[in-house]
Chains A and B, each alone.
Chain A
């Protein structure tokens, strides 16, 4: 573990995670739980919206839309019923921030939903959570039940006349159901397919009523903003992005885990000072932010101060907070293929560019990694990506080409090497690998012959051995076994 004495992290959304018993309402009350709700009930809804606007809080679910503005739209839309929905679908590979908040501090989300409900004039809230999160569901359910039993949910909360209650809706774990319009369809018991916006949910959402959809982490910030004030919150972060962001560090990084840093922290601080760099002394190569919708950032981006705009300027995006770190042993074409494999599985199939396009993109990438790619394929990747971005209906399709475009941009030479020299510079794509024995180094110890599963290594004892390339299945067993570094992988 890298020794860091500098305090680079600031925990607002995760302020209570690991410090309080999530199953105890008393523990939450001890950290001034539900005081934020009590406070807003003495204000007008418009004043509450104003506080969130002034704080500069933006959506942590990926889009970064100003939360106060969204609440304001829902407030101004008159309706007999409005809803506030907490999006706990969390489907990005490598992301687990929302689960940690729900498992560690569920009351903060419950309280925030009640605050949001009051601000927009909703008496009903729903949490849309994936069924694969049983512990989060259990703790959330207990939090809702306990709050209700104490009169902190239900009728006439704090004697103010405000009524509010929350129900839980379960998702089956489809990535696209995290998209707000698909989420609403799924909540209504219909097929989880996105619909075109406008109308936005804040105008016409759940059962066609004005509906606010907010991410778990967005909500977890709200009670802190209400209690500590909008000015406190807006004093943290950059000009356009206020507060902190929780990231899940995963992949080739020493300190795998959750972190929360002020907006404006650099990638270098996140990956090296907090994350401890890549394990085993390997060289850092890239970090994917924004999951399958984002892009790969490289060495040249390390000093970028992270906020919504700076990441988009670097052809990636904030996303919900997954950060997958890659080191020198990772092949960027394979990384792009990994994400396309994911989106290809998760496309809902409603529109053609995304349904067919993801498959075609994946096929081209697969062809390149198998050593059959051509220069024309690179051009096709690019033009197909561009047209999918322009024509797909929802965010899933529109952002799906990002991992390809950003890796082609920064690691174009790797794509080149795959198609022109039929080489994978990181030695990942097995189809293009060859294993040979360096006769100058081989001592003829015979160890490799014993591990080769297809018995394609031959030679007499104490004499240099040779690999029969026509039979070799490139399993790498000999390479790992040889004590004399005599086997060359290239």
Chain B
């Protein structure tokens, strides 16, 4: 990969990445918090259970990603799911059973599942 040698190159690179991310808009994005805290609480178990459940049900348009601390220690493990055209929703207390339920109920049918963490912050986006 070539280096980013100027501000223009950085901006061009950003446009490329944003275009790629836009292509993700039609997909279901499952973002699992994997910081020390969330891993200790079972974040990786939740991730694997959801990957397994997605495969079992043959859902094709799911993209998994990992992120850092979602800040909700009281509700770890936490998972953020974005359905196409909908606002991201964060679910807490995602143990293995809840992880599978999220796939079969929320992802597949759009049915609400318990454990939604309300958004109580404003985030500065640069």
Contacts and interface: CB of A to CB of B under 8 A. Distances in A.
B125 interface: yes
Contacts of A5: 118
Interface residues of B, number: 41
A7 B122 CA distance: 7
A23 B78 CA distance: 18
Interface stretch (A221-229, A284-292, A430-438): A221-229
A15 B67 contact: no
Interface string A17-39: 11111110011011110110011
Interface string B53-89: 0000000000001111111111100101000000000
A379 interface: no
Interface stretch (B35-43, B95-103, B104-112): B35-43
B74 A257 contact: yes
A227 B10 CA distance: 15
Interface string B1-39: 101111100110110011001000000000101011101
B123 A19 contact: yes
A226 B11 CA distance: 16
Given A103-B69, A151-B3, A258-B71, A29 B126 contact: no
Contact of B124 (A7, A21, A158, A224): A224
Given A6-B120, A30-B21, A260-B121, A18 B4 contact: no
A31 B111 CA distance: 31
Contacts of A257: 71-75
B14 to A, nearest CB: 5
B118 A4 contact: yes
A30 B17 contact: yes
A158 B74 contact: no
Interface residues of A, number: 59
A255 interface: yes
Contacts of B75: 1, 257
Contact of B68 (A38, A100, A149, A259): A100
A1 B73 CA distance: 13
A263 interface: no
A446 interface: no
Contacts of B39: 135
Given A26-B17, A159-B5, A274-B120, A254 B74 contact: yes
Nearest to B20: A26
Interface of B: 1, 3-7, 10-11, 13-14, 17-18, 21, 31, 33, 35-37, 39, 65-75, 78, 80, 118-126
26 contacts: A1-B74, A4-B118, A5-B118, A8-B120, A10-B122, A11-B121, A15-B125, A15-B126, A18-B31, A18-B78, A18-B80, A19-B31, A22-B67, A29-B17, A35-B10, A38-B10, A99-B69, A100-B35, A100-B37, A151-B3, A158-B6, A158-B7, A158-B10, A228-B124, A256-B73, A259-B71
The 10 closest A-B pairs by CB, nearest first: A104-B68, A151-B3, A9-B121, A18-B70, A100-B69, A257-B73, A258-B71, A38-B7, A32-B126, A103-B35
